[in-house]
């Protein structure tokens, strides 16, 4: 056990997390084993009202008792120590020193804890004679060098390799709040997506060289290297070019991370910031803003992309991970000019919008990926195109996307780099073809305006028509005889954004109501999210008409309005009668039949209610349009269905009220039932 653990302390939450158990379990250990032959260790200090326990004693007790679910408890404590506290050392010095020792261990295979200080420094001088990445960090450990050598040995043993240990140390950086390592940092899941895209794009193009012109800690380069290692084993590690800035701690860390993976690290001349290819034959991989940087403006992001576009060598790709606001979202001013210019140059081959949840610390922000490459050569200038992929509604679990989603996205992106014939012949899952001229003309969210529309079912053999006819006939509805099988077709779909843009639908905000004014009595029915989700029956909540009329900008519904909400999930109903009050945050979509003749309220409401629970941006929802020659007949039959449904629901409510009144009344002797003599 490393002797440095004698001077480290752990809180009870720390112990629970490291032992892979729930927090109450550790408290139970303290009580149950307080009088045992091997009692749980006593607290040695208190910090911020939390008791803390000596790490070496807790580790020894865990190993003796066999409790917990982490066989590498001691090693994990050692790795956390480098981020949290090494007595006598600044936290940054300790972290840089440990990662440097792991690099040294990877290069030499030595058991560092068995060496003296002078021997370790001599070894570091042999491995890093020009002090590119590790010597200064090891020397800065001073008299704590021996302790950190023990930590490095323990961590490498637990993780099986120094490379595994180094990455395990950095995985804990968000919890430790290390700004230089976490500011703007993407999750491991987002990095994996980019790494696999880079690997797939570079496959078959000879020896792989990656380059990142921006100085950072190497997250994206490491992700790409590890993706290649997972796919191809431990052979043919790529070369990686990083800025030759020896005084930058982040770049030195990036060199160490790549070095332990067996990567040949190349120097990238800092003078080549503009106007030169970064490295012959290199695929550029960059995150904007770089890890450690505070958030950039949209202008800054797009200027940096412009520079990368210049640095990209013909025949090679540049893959950029950055904020969706700049790369995909609505922009204006200088940012709009920059993005339009980049799109006009026809180097933007693929645009990918990722879902929220891939940026730790800013869970609601979204990231996007741009793939820069050569313009398609098989079409004229006016027919230049790119592809746009929308993953904004996909589920993120633990900072990662589902494996199947990543595989299909990578396949889509690779297919998008082919010829026009290749693209037209590929069955994309997330991706839609878009003419560059259309992208340039759009200042709105690119992935919304050019998202791939779903394909509807064509021919079901007449089953739907037969079943609808049976139901309508059985219910005795007028118009049942008009239901016959149709030819089958792909329904026309549009996003609500495009329908709204042409004036086919208008959004009207709900009214902000005083909760005390809403109750069971009143002339005006109130419809809010609780009615839309079915938690409360339509018509149960009401308010006084005079009270409502006094509100500023009081608005009633009109017949045919579609009332909807986005939270807790998308839901909608059609108001057949009108003169209802919509309670904010519920909203109204009012259809203009002249501009959207195929938009039917009931179909619109069904499309809204069938959206994914995570689809919160209502303008991105796809809705179906009914053939104009079918609209009138459909609405007549749906009106008959609605009238019958209203009667049935009203009867059901009255039956429920009767049941409640009888049970309570008879039980409380408020109602007495007479025995009726049928004779």
pLDDT at position 179 over 90: no
d(CA 549, CA 201) in angstroms, rounded, equals: 62
> For residue 604, what pLDDT is reported?
93
Q: Tell me what pLDDT residue 275 has.
A: 40
User: What is the rounded average pLDDT of the residues 354-377?
Assistant: 87
Q: Which band of pLDDT confidence, cut at 50, 70 and 90, is reported for residue 430? A: confident
Q: What is the largest CA-CA distance in the chain?
A: 115
> 412: closest CA among 394, 390, 435?
390
Q: Are 292 and 184 contacting, i.e. CB atoms less than 8 angstroms apart?
A: yes
- Bigger pLDDT: 170 vs 303: 303
Within 10 Å of residue 623's Cβ, how many Cβ atoms?
27
Average pLDDT in the 477-495 region?
Answer: 72
> What is the reported pLDDT for 233?
52
Cβ neighbors of 501 (< 8 A, separation 6 or more) are: none
Specify the pLDDT at position 299: 93
On the 0-12 / 13-18 / 19+ scale of CB atoms within 10 A, 90 is: exposed
* Res. 3 pLDDT band, cuts 50 70 90: low
Q: What is the mean pLDDT of residues 650-662?
A: 86
Percent of the chain clearing pLDDT 90 (strictly above): 31
Q: How confident is the model at residue 490 (pLDDT cuts 50, 70, 90)?
A: low
- Comparing 158 with 448, the larger pLDDT belongs to 158
Per-residue confidence (pLDDT) for residue 421, from 0 to 100: 77
- For residue 85, what pLDDT is reported? 63
pLDDT at 135: 94
Residue 338 has pLDDT above 60, yes or no: yes
**β-strand partners of 204:** none
Residue 379 has pLDDT above 80, yes or no: no
pTM value?
A: 0.64
Residue 238: the pLDDT is 81
Section 70-87 average pLDDT:
73
pLDDT tens digits along 232-273: 554 467 889 898 888 888 899 999 999 999 898 988 865 544
Residue 678: band (very low, low, confident or very high) from pLDDT cuts 50, 70, 90: low
| 325 dihedral zone (left: phi>0; alpha: psi -120 to 50; beta) | alpha
The model's pLDDT over 591-638, given as tens digits with 9 standing for 90+, comes to 998 888 889 999 999 999 888 877 888 888 888 888 888 888 888 888
User: Is residue 195 pLDDT above 80, yes or no?
Assistant: yes
454 has pLDDT over 50:
no
Mean pLDDT of the 344-368 span: 87
**Rounded-to-integer distance, Cα 639 and Cα 643, Å:** 6
pLDDT, residue 272, reads: 47
Tell me the three-class secondary structure of 535-604, residue by residue: CCCCCCCEECHHHHHCCCCCCECCCCEEEEECCCCCEEEEECCCCCEEECCCEEEEECCCCCCCCCHHHH
Highest mean pLDDT: which of 62-76, 133-147, 422-436? Answer: 133-147
Per-residue pLDDT at 286:
94
- Cis peptide leading into residue 592 (ω within 30°): no
Residue 494: pLDDT over 60: yes
Residue 105 has pLDDT above 90, yes or no: yes
Q: What's the mean pLDDT when you consider all of the chain? A: 84
């Amino acid at each position: 056990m490393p002797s440095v653990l004698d001077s480290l302390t752990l809180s009870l939450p720390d112990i629970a997390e490291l032992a892979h158990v729930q927090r109450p379990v550790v408290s139970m250990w303290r009580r149950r084993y307080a009088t045992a032959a091997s009692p749980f260790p006593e607290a040695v200090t208190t910090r911020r009202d939390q008791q803390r326990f000596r790490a070496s004693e807790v580790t020894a007790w865990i190993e003796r008792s066999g409790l917990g679910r982490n066989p590498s408890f001691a090693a994990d404590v050692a790795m956390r120590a480098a981020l949290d506290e090494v007595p006598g050392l600044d936290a940054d010095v300790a972290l840089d020193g440990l990662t440097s020792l792991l690099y040294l261990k990877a290069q030499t295979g030595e058991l560092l804890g068995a060496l003296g200080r002078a021997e370790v420094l001599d070894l570091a001088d042999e491995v890093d004679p020009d002090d590119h990445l590790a010597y200064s960090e090891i020397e800065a450990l001073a008299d704590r060098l021996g302790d950190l050598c023990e930590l490095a040995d323990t961590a490498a043993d637990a993780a099986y390799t120094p490379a595994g240990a180094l990455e395990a140390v950095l995985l804990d950086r968000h919890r430790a709040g290390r700004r230089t390592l976490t500011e703007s940092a993407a999750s491991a899941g987002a990095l994996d997506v980019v790494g696999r895209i880079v690997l797939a794009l570079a496959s078959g193009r000879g020896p792989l060289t990656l380059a990142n012109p921006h100085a950072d800690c190497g997250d994206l380069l490491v992700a790409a290297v590890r993706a290649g290692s997972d796919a191809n084993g431990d052979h043919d590690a790529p070369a990686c070019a990083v800025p030759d800035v020896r005084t930058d701690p982040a770049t030195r860390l990036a060199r160490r991370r790549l070095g332990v993976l067996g990567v040949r690290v190349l120097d990238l001349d800092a003078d080549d910031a503009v106007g030169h290819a970064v490295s012959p034959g290199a695929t550029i991989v960059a995150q904007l803003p770089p890890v450690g940087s505070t958030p950039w403006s949209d202008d800054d992001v797009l200027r940096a992309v412009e520079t990368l576009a210049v640095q990209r060598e013909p025949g090679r790709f540049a893959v950029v991970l950055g904020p969706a606001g700049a790369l995909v979202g609505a922009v204006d001013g200088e940012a709009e000019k920059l993005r339009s210019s980049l799109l006009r140059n026809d180097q933007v081959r693929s645009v990918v919008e990722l879902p929220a949840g891939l940026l730790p610390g800013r869970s609601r922000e979204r990231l996007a990926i741009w793939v820069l490459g050569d313009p398609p050569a098989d079409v004229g200038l006016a027919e230049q195109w790119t592809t746009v992929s929308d993953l904004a509604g996909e589920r993120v679990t633990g900072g990662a996307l589902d494996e199947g989603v990543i595989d299909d996205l990578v396949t889509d992106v690779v297919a998008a780099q082919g010829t026009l014939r290749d693209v037209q012949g590929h069955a994309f899952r997330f991706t839609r073809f878009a003419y560059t001229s259309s992208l340039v003309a759009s200042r709105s969210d690119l992935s919304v305006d050019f998202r791939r529309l779903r394909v509807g079912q064509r021919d079901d053999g007449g089953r739907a028509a037969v079943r609808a006819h049976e139901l309508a006939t059985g219910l005795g509805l007028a118009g049942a005889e008009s239901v016959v099988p149709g030819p089958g077709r792909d329904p026309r779909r549009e996003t609500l954004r495009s329908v709204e843009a042409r004036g086919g639908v208008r959004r009207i905000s709900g009214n902000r109501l005083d909760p005390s004014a809403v109750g069971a009595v009143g002339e005006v029915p109130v419809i809010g999210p609780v009615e839309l989700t079915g938690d409360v029956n339509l018509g149960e909540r009401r308010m006084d008409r005079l009270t409502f009329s006094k509100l500023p900008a009081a608005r009633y519904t009109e017949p045919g309005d579609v009332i909807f909400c986005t939270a807790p999930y998308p839901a909608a109903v059609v108001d057949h009668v009108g003169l209802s009050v919509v309670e904010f945050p519920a909203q109204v979509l009012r259809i203009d039949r002249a501009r959207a003749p195929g938009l039917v309220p009931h179909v619109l409401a069904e499309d809204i209610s069938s959206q994914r629970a995570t689809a919160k941006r209502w303008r991105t929802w796809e809705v179906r349009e009914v053939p104009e020659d079918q609209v009138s007949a459909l609405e007549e039959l749906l009106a008959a269905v609605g009238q019958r449904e209203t009667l049935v629901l009203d009867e059901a409510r009255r039956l429920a009220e009767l049941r409640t009144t009888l049970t309570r009344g008879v039980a409380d002797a408020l109602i007495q039932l007479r025995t009726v003599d049928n004779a």
